[in-house]
Structure 1
């Protein structure tokens, strides 16, 4: 397995496919998944001549099951080390859900010349938690409920998420894809319970407002308006307004996991943005 070891000794697993002189596209997965969630996109963009890279966030997938550092500052620091180790220049960073927050936090801190563009899909910025400053957010009780369910029975909890709201399989008339449910569960159970528990705070409470304001490269913001995990109204339009160079694409009726359920629609849109 390809890994790098970070300054604190954590091993970060990554995939790196394609010609080393091709433009890199780096994919950032959602909670509590792994680089495997990007298999469809990685194969698609590899065929279109890109160098495709995806890593397992610390505590997730095949990376070290860390009990510390499971927050956005360290996630971004890990990416700075990965970009340096792989000598990534002029890269496009694509993040889904929690991975979208990771992309924004990293891009605001990346070394000059490392990043060309960004994409955030069904992403958690600007901030998910409800507060006086963010009245449209979700109440703390929602995230406390996630933590309680994870501790009580993580295996069943992950089945329930994948079978229902993540892919919109709980909607009337939805075409349920059993393989996607099993693959979601498989990826989730590869990671560490402590890291996944901590990450709930990271994705729900981190305020990415200042990060979004700092980014000066083009960013594509994509979101399904039937997203049951990261509600659309309090995320994508607000992020697009804070970014200096943004393009907002809303997909009517699409779920949170639309990169899997509607890859045939999103992949060409991503390609068009990459080439623009």
Structure 2
């Protein structure tokens, strides 16, 4: 099946490039189909999404992220055991040792997504999840990598563990899910707030309140593809080429110039992930 078959039409290209700072190109959709990486990156670049952070959620996915980043100059990798995977693992210490080894690779810019998920993991699994989060924070600090945090229904404990272990130099709150008060608490710790398609949902005014109070130099955008598809395509599989819907919506919420917001997001992502990496295309086609 070709990449365009059965997908929404591509949105109008953005006036200036941005980065999808969190996606899962290795996650199958539509009955097990996985989009060819080249096609996914080409379609994204055509609308102004010229760089990507490929995020691992387990050992297999983290190794895959490293390999793709080695092959694709527009991609960098993030490696980790997702909190729910960590809670289920029977070999967690060995898993963490492998994440530590992978994090040393130059194509790896981040350790994540790690963190806490109290929605899918019950009380019995939380101690192991918290142990994993602490270990990932130490790995990020040891290798000078950005810490990418998954936080679902665990705001207070996420911040408590960050404070306990020590906040790394660069932190990204992936798919930011809190209100304006929690946003301030994250910003006080130096974090960047990454907004996904959820910010476009009708029932997400609390996310829009968080966006409004965020300093312009701390705002990022992501897909979490193939999940969290923005309006007007909610319910369909997500992909990086749909990022323009989210960015345009964010510009409207902020009552700001779209091109200026794109430039800010692009520069913010460079800082958040420890420096610039080459673009796949020199300009938006």
TM-score by length of 1: 0.38
**TM-score of the pair, normalised by structure 2:** 0.37
